[in-house]
A and B are shown apart, each in its own frame.
Chain A
């Protein structure tokens, strides 16, 4: 049981990192990134290939993953400068599919649909429970660091400018803010966080394959961020852990209802996830932790 709880917490932490990435790009900068799974995959592949086949140390692999995802984020952002809202969402969704299809077909680079197994781990597996606990500690520290940095960014003039751009980019431009630069910075940073999440996930499960990065992951993270609150660093973190708790709890709920076949239970789970979101949005349209309005600094 303990292993299972630790495992769920690690997955929750990975989701929390992804959710923070989405908060930065979507909640603060207004850039809808439906391609989150693509950047997640990119990070996982960058670290898995470099550590498994290139034999670089794991921390170097993770750093490479962050850089690779940020670089890809930069390319996507620059090539979509004139797009906002729905249009950007479609392009990023396409990007994630491109990553998945390249990963499936470029066997020389990614191992194809066989995936990469035997990815080095963060803590030796022989440590048993220590493996899960140790990994959880590392991943939780990553969540905490990203959280602290995001809070700092949000309170800084940079964060204020970003939110101004989200509300009205023309006004922000008139006020002398470089809209393009702010958006590119925010998007790259967000992608770097997603890459970090991918690298940590690959090093925890020791297996990276294209099927792991289906659009479903992006949708789950959107759920987590919407439920938690999309414009406050604590929101997505709470939302992500709550989502994983909810997803796992529904497994047990299915067993408690008598006369439900496994297929019906699986369908019920998906219905419950949808219902859960409706309830949260009905009661708290801004999410569990809505955005705080910042007071203007004293003159």
Chain B
């Protein structure tokens, strides 16, 4: 072993490391444009994340088939945030440092988004999220963050209006503790009180398997309507326990919680008459139908619609800015999302128009997708639905 002294080993190691790093250096200049999805594939958000990741992949495949962005393919790398800020942080580090993605799409839980956002803006990576907590767009993100979910202040106001509309005077707000439960209740309360009603609030632990005591406490106040602020799993438990307690008033919930999955899991008489409200995916629009086609379902969930829009906006922004970095996306995303121009509802179509030198204005599957300077959407229509006979039926879009 005399010929293998330490110096030689070090030299060989350096050469080897250099050789291994070389493809990575080349890759940064050409080759596919790398984008990441960070959605909850396991944990509390596990019922939403898989469809989101699939939507982004399939939409990217379509863009690639049509020639890609700037003549380069999109490569989607999907990671699981396990609905935990700790795991999400590890996953996004890998996406940014190893995969060198220029944008991350789809963070769902507000706590995960808050944890990973600083990593994004510090590394110049663009982050498009579906989290609703008001605090998120108030982070010092320097433009590297947009979201397509209306903030919760607006949602609370809409819920208040809806409750008054169905003639409720006493409204109970029942929700797990989330970053948005407080702001939502405050707005709900203001709206209902302005209409001459009264509100009460009850916060429960969303990891409990029964909510009988909570239901008893709420029903003591004899509410005409109960607004439910939770997600699918805990809302199913709440609805079931309210039925067992023979509650006869109206139930209102988020569209993302009262979804097909929940309605199918509960007997029809239990879910009968639940009213839901959700930021309207632009149903009937071509973008919405497109997502339905991609997922092979009639009614894609609002999050899938939103991540579809995220991908399209990112693709269009890169094409418009003629670059593949997060900073380019940040600087140009509002030139393709709003401000007039030819209306497009898919990246494939928009990329063609951009190549022809036109200005585009993207209106997507989740809505018009116009953003304020801090990254909130400016306009959102809401979809009002009711569960009738085990089916979710549309009341109106307003």
Asked if A212 contacts B179 (CB within 8 A), the reply is no
B54 on the A face (CB < 8 A): yes
Q: Which of B53, B97, B177 contacts A104 (CB 8 A)?
A: B177
The segment out of B86-94, B296-304, B330-338 that lies at the interface is B86-94
A115 touching B53 in the complex, CB below 8 Å, given contacts A3-B93, A105-B177:
no
Residue of A nearest to B77 (CB): A255
**A154 and B176 alpha carbons, distance in the complex (Å):** 45
Residues of B within 8 A of A115 (CB): 85, 111, 114-115, 179
Asked if B98 contacts A266 (CB within 8 A), the reply is no
A174 on the B face (CB < 8 A): no
A206 touching B53 in the complex, CB below 8 Å, given contacts A248-B90, A248-B94:
no
Residues of B within 8 A of A56 (CB): none
A4 touching B98 in the complex, CB below 8 Å, given contacts A113-B178, A115-B114, A211-B111:
yes
Taking the closest CB of chain B, its distance from the CB of A18, in whole angstroms, is: 12
Q: Which of B54, B135, B203 contacts A261 (CB 8 A)?
A: B54
Asked if B93 contacts A7 (CB within 8 A), the reply is yes
Taking the closest CB of chain A, its distance from the CB of B220, in whole angstroms, is: 21
Residues of B within 8 A of A1 (CB): 24, 97-98
Taking the closest CB of chain A, its distance from the CB of B77, in whole angstroms, is: 7
A178 on the B face (CB < 8 A): no
B197 on the A face (CB < 8 A): no
A11 touching B90 in the complex, CB below 8 Å, given contacts A262-B80, A263-B53:
yes
**A57 and B111 alpha carbons, distance in the complex (Å):** 26
**A217 and B43 alpha carbons, distance in the complex (Å):** 13
B217 on the A face (CB < 8 A): no
Asked if B97 contacts A4 (CB within 8 A), the reply is yes
Residues of A within 8 A of B112 (CB): 211
Asked if A266 contacts B24 (CB within 8 A), the reply is no
A72 on the B face (CB < 8 A): no
Chain A contact residues: helix, strand, loop or mixed: helix
Asked if A212 contacts B84 (CB within 8 A), the reply is yes
Residues of A within 8 A of B110 (CB): 113-114
B194 on the A face (CB < 8 A): no
A80 on the B face (CB < 8 A): no
Asked if B42 contacts A101 (CB within 8 A), the reply is no
B109 on the A face (CB < 8 A): yes
Taking the closest CB of chain A, its distance from the CB of B23, in whole angstroms, is: 12
A209 touching B97 in the complex, CB below 8 Å, given contacts A112-B179, A113-B177, A263-B41:
no
Asked if B41 contacts A266 (CB within 8 A), the reply is yes
Q: Which of A7, A105, A207, A270 contacts B85 (CB 8 A)?
A: A207
Residue of B nearest to A206 (CB): B118
Residues of A within 8 A of B94 (CB): 4, 248, 251
**A288 and B66 alpha carbons, distance in the complex (Å):** 53
Asked if B50 contacts A263 (CB within 8 A), the reply is yes
Residues of A within 8 A of B178 (CB): 113
**What is the number of residues of chain B that contact chain A, defined by CB distance less than 8 Å?**
45
Q: Which has the most chain A C-beta neighbours within 10 Å: B86, B89, B110? A: B86
A50 on the B face (CB < 8 A): no
Taking the closest CB of chain B, its distance from the CB of A110, in whole angstroms, is: 11
Asked if A209 contacts B85 (CB within 8 A), the reply is yes
Residues of A within 8 A of B122 (CB): 125
Residues of B within 8 A of A248 (CB): 90, 94
A205 touching B115 in the complex, CB below 8 Å, given contacts A212-B86, A267-B42:
yes
Taking the closest CB of chain B, its distance from the CB of A170, in whole angstroms, is: 39
Q: Which has the most chain A C-beta neighbours within 10 Å: B41, B50, B110, B181? A: B41
Give B66-96 interface residues, CB cut-off 8 Å to A.
Answer: 77-80, 82-87, 89-91, 93-94, 96
Q: Which has the most chain A C-beta neighbours within 10 Å: B24, B77, B177? A: B177
Residues of B within 8 A of A169 (CB): none
Give B327-351 interface residues, CB cut-off 8 Å to A.
Answer: none
A8 on the B face (CB < 8 A): yes
Q: Which has the most chain A C-beta neighbours within 10 Å: B89, B97, B118? A: B97
Residue of B nearest to A207 (CB): B115
A283 on the B face (CB < 8 A): no
A209 touching B42 in the complex, CB below 8 Å, given contacts A4-B94, A262-B80:
no
Q: Which of A2, A216, A262 contacts B84 (CB 8 A)?
A: A216
Give A1-22 interface residues, CB cut-off 8 Å to B.
Answer: 1-4, 7-8, 11
Residue of A nearest to B86 (CB): A212
Q: Mark A154-172, 1 if CB is under 8 A from B, else 0.
A: 0000000000000000000
Q: Which of B37, B53, B85, B139 contacts A211 (CB 8 A)?
A: B85
Q: Which of A8, A206, A262 contacts B41 (CB 8 A)?
A: A262
B205 on the A face (CB < 8 A): yes
Asked if B179 contacts A114 (CB within 8 A), the reply is yes
A113 touching B179 in the complex, CB below 8 Å, given contacts A3-B97, A251-B79, A270-B42:
yes
Asked if B139 contacts A112 (CB within 8 A), the reply is no
Give B92-127 interface residues, CB cut-off 8 Å to A.
Answer: 93-94, 96-98, 109-112, 114-115, 118, 122
A-B contact pairs, 15 of them (CB 8 A): A3-B97, A4-B94, A7-B93, A105-B177, A115-B115, A211-B111, A251-B79, A261-B53, A262-B37, A262-B53, A265-B78, A266-B80, A266-B82, A267-B41, A267-B42
Residues of A within 8 A of B (CB): 1-4, 7-8, 11, 101, 104-105, 107, 112-115, 117, 125, 205-207, 209-212, 214, 216-217, 247-248, 251, 255, 261-263, 265-267, 269-270
